[in-house]
Structure 1
């Protein structure tokens, strides 16, 4: 595989992967076993969703917690709903493979 192709498949920066793993472990338990499972999970998600879509989804999830009309835009638009659906499908696949 050429370097360009490898980079395309691994476009998530280390910091984004680490943030996901830390949050996953915080939510599920801070053990060596969960470190492995959470690391596997972000790898599966990264294999399904391009990084720019992941960033969009993270923004939607964060902004949807804002109250009022601003948060409502992130909770109710079709684009937001579709992005969240794709992300949740990737998470479900990761759960099947890793947990």
Structure 2
């Protein structure tokens, strides 16, 4: 085999190897329970009309959040947001007006902003 043919074979091998490597599965920094991941993806799909083409975007969303915040922080913020939306009246102030509630939900909002940047 000539040197030129060898280089051509190497270039072809690299061309086929790079796309496969670029599509390697992403493992987020923090591990979330499967049920929490599924709940996020289903909620994301429901909010967007259950369009199949959004499945990867929604999965990317929870992976991004899992990269940025531990599950305990995510769970706190998600619970606070659910309680805020639940219409608890005056009792809901505890989940809206405390510094802890504001800090926890702000962490999740920052992570969701990053989702909008990373997952298109």
Q: Please give the range of the TM-score, normalised by the shorter of the 2 chains.
A: 0.7 to 0.9
1:48 to 54, 57, 68: 68
| Aligned counterpart, 2:35 | 15
Aligned counterpart, 2:78: 58
| Cα RMSD (Å) | 1.7
- The structure whose Rg is larger is 2
Does the 8 Å CA contact 2:28/2:63 hold for their aligned counterparts? no
Higher relative contact order (CA 8 A, sep 6+): 1
For residues 12-50 of structure 1, the C-alpha deviation after alignment (integer angstroms, 9 at most, x for no partner) is 011100000000000012122200100001000010010
1:29 and 2:53 equivalent?
no
Q: What secondary structure sits across from 2:96 in the alignment?
A: helix
What is the TM-score normalised by the length of structure 2? 0.71
Deviation of residue 8 (structure 1)?
8.8
The 8 Å contact of residues 28 and 66 in structure 2, kept in 1 or not, is answered as no
Do the aligned partners of 2:78 and 2:105 also contact (CA within 8 Å) in 1?
no
Q: How many residues align?
A: 93
SS at match of 2:31: coil
Structure 1 segments (4+ residues) deviating >6 Å: none
1:91 aligns with 2:84: no
| Runs of 5+ consecutive residues of structure 2 not aligned to the other structure | 1-26
